[in-house]
Structure 1
Amino acid sequence: MSRPLVVFTDPEELDVGPGVRLLTDAGFDTRVVGSRDPDAIAAAARDAVALIVGYAPVDAALLDRLPGVGMLATMSAGYDMIDTAQARRRGLWVSNLPHAATEDVAVHALASALSLVRALPQADATVRGGGWNTEFAALPCRAGELTLGLWGFGRIARVLARIAAPVFGRVAAYDPHADAAGWPDGVERLGLDELVAGSDVLSLHTPLTPQTRGMVDTALLARMRPGAFLVNVARGELVDTAALLAALDSGRLGAAALDVFPVEPPPLDDPLRSHPRIQLSPHSAYLSDASQRAYVCAPAENVIAWHRTGRPLTPVVDPTLEGAPS
């Protein structure tokens, strides 16, 4: 009797070995495509029962070519790469990883914010260029006198608020979908306009949707405090990069820290790479020795649970329910 096949689409830098071993021990065969190309995925997964997905787009056209797939497990908390409406129409389960790197991303966001506040990129460049602190273009700020604003208040933002509270003078957040009953003490709940206008550091923690794509645009940047800082560890497409560059060039925005980009990796000639007031990291906020294991093992555990019980451990689309996320 043949073993059910599970296909990893595009794990990229992740070592899938631990996840493969879990699946093999549970009675599955596995295959790794190593590509986002839909033709390559369709060829490799034509007999698969489940896909474990990195960033490869999974749309209706691809799903039409995979009639045996019943489960889509993402290797991330985000699942915008999957057309969830089409998955639900086809009766497919979709799972994500809500906790795999929560602490890592929150700490990375805090480190990025403090690096901007304390002008560490400027300080590093000054010393490397033979200068000293008398040559600073602008003095670092005192974090205890600043407001950290969080746009979105899910798991990552809540951890960030907790660890940032002893450092920043004030922490505030905006999230129209968050339950007021579970809102923690010590974090001010503001409207969007209040948050944007009142934050010295604005950190993005909202999912990418048609409504949030390009939400940090010229108009929003103009409402921010002069000299404020922007941190993005969420999705690159949340930010209009042309508007960001213009705000930095005009001095309206003090600096930005970006871990995510609309195109990854950004082209070598992308002006984001060379702007002196942008601090860059290579979509690494989620990376740690612990998260490396979780990103391959947790999707495998979702697939195993679904195959054994009919339900994954952390579903985001439950095709048995009317009105599942789409």
Structure 2
Amino acid sequence: MGVDRVFVTRRIPDEGLDLLRPVCAVDLWDDDLPPPADVLRERVRGAAGLLCLLTDPVDEALLDAAGPGLRVVSQMAVGVDNIELAACTRRGIPVGHTPGVLTETTADLAVALLLAAARRLPEAQAAVRAGEWTTWKPLWLAGRDVHGSTVGIVGLGRIGRAVARRLRGFGCRILYTGPRPVPEADEVGARFVELEELLRRSDFVTLHCPLTPQTRHLIDERALALMKPTAILVNTSRGAVVDPDALHRALASGRIAAAALDVTDPEPLPPDHPLLALPNCLVVPHIGSASVATRTRMAVMAAENLLAGLRGEPLRHCANPEVYRPPKHPPR
């Protein structure tokens, strides 16, 4: 029996690759940019495993190109909205992902963005570099207090709760919303409200929900109109949860005070995108999990999921666990 060939769609930390190389023939796309669609289809042809990133579309066309030998897909990310899970399940292909490991690191960034936008740090740094710091000025670059504020969290999952724990140290009142109340809310002192009430009452709104048909453009023209003119929006979830055109209009008109985004729609934003021209919009390039330790753990987890799938063992972190359930046969 030959050695299984696996395609890894990007340069990842060596700790993940080091787990694969002794037991697999690793075909690595050794670049920071994703492989073009035609290259991705060609390189996955005949592979037993695919280790991908959230920028790689894993759809019917790609699965057809891979052929029947593809036994496992493992994504180095928590979200899997780039993967057609139902198509993988129909073919009996388990899909791995990396939940939990990036919770604390992403929560750190969410709070960092919230603080940076509140205290207008990017504007202040730009002013210093432009030579505008002439003296101490009582009203210059005055921002918003985070301590004692009301923070609305949209999606009180692992990351949302981690953000709430951090903000309790600032004496913040925590509201949250989602499809339903969650029992863990009491642990972080968060109170459930409907989305409209959260938007109206919050000084800061931070997004931690998955991208689904229901949450796509959840923050649209109407939602932004409900927010306080002094409110600040933070997004570290998925870019398409926010309507970018509506956000630009709200920021440019002063409908809301500021936004801080780790994710955008589209992603990446082109350099001439109008959001990037606004002084009250802070944008960073999807670095929520970008600490050395966390990215290393993600690579190791993705490799371990891949190896389990190649061995025919259940994945420890599987995004489509229904793939392991026996098919239902109609009664005879």
Scaled by the length of structure 2, what TM-score is found?
0.90
Instruction: Give the alignment of 1:1-326 within 5 angstroms.
Output: 1-9=1-9, 11=10, 14-25=11-22, 27-33=23-29, 34=31, 35-54=34-53, 55-67=55-67, 68-128=69-129, 129-131=131-133, 132-134=135-137, 136=139, 139-177=142-180, 179-180=182-183, 183-318=186-321, 319-321=323-325
Query: Does structure 2 conserve the Cα–Cα contact (< 8 Å) formed by 1:122 and 1:136?
Result: no
1:20-73 per-residue CA deviation (whole Å, 9 max, x = no partner) reads: 210123x11111235342321222121211111112101111111112112111
Distance 1:76 1:86 in 2: 19
Distance 2:188 2:113 in 1: 24
The structure-2 alpha-carbon separation of the partners of 1:251 and 1:181, relative to structure 1 and needing over 3 Å to count, comes to closer
Q: Aligned-pair distance for 1:95?
A: 1.3
C-alpha RMSD over aligned residues: 2.0
1:302-324 per-residue CA deviation (whole Å, 9 max, x = no partner) reads: 1112233521110110212379x
Match for 2:12: what amino acid?
D
Question: Where in structure 2 are there 5+ consecutive unaligned residues?
Answer: 328-332
Q: Percent identity?
A: 34
Distance 2:284 2:139 in 1: 23
The structure-2 alpha-carbon separation of the partners of 1:322 and 1:207, relative to structure 1 and needing over 3 Å to count, comes to farther
Question: Where in structure 1 are there 5+ consecutive unaligned residues?
Answer: none
Q: Aligned-pair distance for 1:18?
A: 2.0
Match for 1:195: what amino acid?
L
Distance 1:186 1:133 in 2: 39
Tell me the SS of whatever aligns to 2:132: coil
Query: Does structure 1 conserve the Cα–Cα contact (< 8 Å) formed by 2:263 and 2:285?
Result: yes
Match for 2:124: what amino acid?
A
Query: Does structure 2 conserve the Cα–Cα contact (< 8 Å) formed by 1:233 and 1:285?
Result: yes
Distance 1:135 1:273 in 2: 28
How many corresponding residue pairs? Answer: 319
Tell me the SS of whatever aligns to 1:282: coil
Distance 2:139 2:70 in 1: 58
Distance 1:181 1:321 in 2: 29
Q: Aligned-pair distance for 1:116?
A: 1.6
The structure-2 alpha-carbon separation of the partners of 1:2 and 1:249, relative to structure 1 and needing over 3 Å to count, comes to same
Query: Does structure 1 conserve the Cα–Cα contact (< 8 Å) formed by 2:161 and 2:188?
Result: no
Distance 1:281 1:127 in 2: 20
